[in-house]
Amino acid sequence: MAFIALGINHKTASVAVRERVAFTPEQLVEALQQLCLRTASREAAILSTCNRSELYLEQDDLTADAVLAWLADYHRLSLDELRACAYVHQDDAAVRHMMRVASGLDSMVLGEPQILGQMKSAYAVAREAGTLGPLLGRLFQATFSTAKTVRTDTAIGENPVSVAFAAVSLARQIFSDLHDSQALLIGAGETITLVARHLYEQGVKRIVVANRTLERASSLAEQFGAHAVLLSDIPQELVSSDIVISSTASQLPILGKGAVESALKRRKHKPIFMVDIAVPRDIEPQVGKLDDVYLYTVDDLHEVIAENLKSRQGAAQAAEELVSVGAEDFMLRLRELAAVDVLKAYRQQAERLRDEELAKAQRLLGKGASAEEVLAQLARGLTNKLLHAPSVQLKKLSADGRVDALAVAQELFALDEGVPSDKGL
């Protein structure tokens, strides 16, 4: 049994290299099968995200160089270029690395939850490709269990540490149930895309995307079943919007106090939660002075994020300890399984010798020999056969000066007398 975890990530490779080493979902099954064929790996799985590409393998005689050579060849990269930014973990270290990754301890954003789902996808694809066997399968299950314990028993993932997620988390604090809320998102860039995704995952059914160009708004809206409008439609949409989150590149405010006051009157002063992530601001500061408006700026969010990141870092130590326990427990159980195989073979051998001696005894009884004599012979014959192979091996070990092995035999057979030291040889 030998595990290898090999790959690159955001800490070791540039975006340009990570893009070239990434696997598309369509490539994964074929790549896994080729990997096992070309490197003689017994079992393999591939995790490929925007921040990392990692290969997980199980094979006794497998070398990291063979895997790196395959990876470089598959993506048409220079082996030296890949070797310069790749890392390799083996056996216990590989187990610990997988558990750290799944727990969010190796992520760009400490404790981010998406990586566990991505790890589960890697497991599912490996099963589909037929490259997941009993050992790697057990490792994945132990990894999922440890990551779940980390999430349950620590605060590593409780507090938001991204602007988009912090904005949505604040909305959840104000509206206990987001399902019945309408969200108006102003802008169509990366941050608003993340906000839309978080809102969608929280169950917000009505999302409106307002942008300077309808084409960009429509492109984003299609991803989440949202409605696209132009910036000029914002006053009308404000009336039915409970959540407003804005992030544009405009140099002038897009939403003024007058438009919000008008919307509040038509809403009969039903509260509006607003987050202005833009710099310069999209929403006039005076809007925050209105009753029934909860306005937060990007500075407010950064204060929340800084505090939450400090909290996550405090929880990281406890998470690391849980990962260590999980890795040690897995390796212990794996070694116990290896012992089970040896014990099974030894028991089968002992039962075969027993059956042979029992058959001899039954033949003697059939010929009229006394039961007392047959039992004595059965006991002698069985004892001699059970001791024969160990006796031969112990004499050979002694002749070779293997005092360490003799000490193990002493412990294995629970013998009281000591084993001679090498000083007496």
Q: Are 205 and 219 in contact (CB under 8 A)?
A: no
| Catalytic-labelled residue, pool 37, 50, 369, 371 | 50
Q: Are 419 and 410 in contact (CB under 8 A)?
A: yes
3-state per-residue secondary structure call for the chain: CCEEEEEEECCCCCHHHHHHHCCCCCCHHHHHHHHHHHHCCCEEEEEECCCEEEEEEECCCCCHHHHHHHHHHHCCCCHHHHHHHCEEEECHHHHHHHHHHHCCCCCCCCCCCHHHHHHHHHHHHHHHHCCCCHHHHHHHHHHHHHHHHHHHHCCCCCCCCCHHHHHHHHHHHHCCCHHHCEEEEECCCHHHHHHHHHHHHCCCCEEEEEECCHHHHHHHHHHCCCEEEEHHHHHHHHCCCCEEEECCCCCCCCECHHHHHHHHHHCCCCCEEEEECCCCCCECHHHHHCCCEEEEEHHHHHHHHHHHHHHHHHHHHHHHHHHHHHHHHHHHHHHHHHHHHHHHHHHHHHHHHHHHHHHHHHHHHHCCCCHHHHHHHHHHHHHHHHHHHHHHHHHHHHHCCCHHHHHHHHHHCCCCCCCCCHHHC
| Amino acid of residue 202 | Q
Token digits for 190? 């990366």
189 annotated as a binding-site residue: yes
112 annotated as a binding-site residue: yes
Q: Are 94 and 56 in contact (CB under 8 A)?
A: yes
223 annotated as a binding-site residue: no
51 annotated as a binding-site residue: yes
- d(CA 128, CA 28) in angstroms, rounded, equals 10
192 annotated as a binding-site residue: yes
85 part of the active site: no
Q: How many CA atoms lie within 13 A of 32 on its CB side?
A: 28
113 annotated as a binding-site residue: yes
Residues flagged as binding site for NADP(+): 187-192
Q: Which residues are catalytic?
A: 50
Residues flagged as binding site: 49-52, 107, 112-114, 118, 187-192
Residues flagged as binding site for substrate: 49-52, 107, 112-114, 118
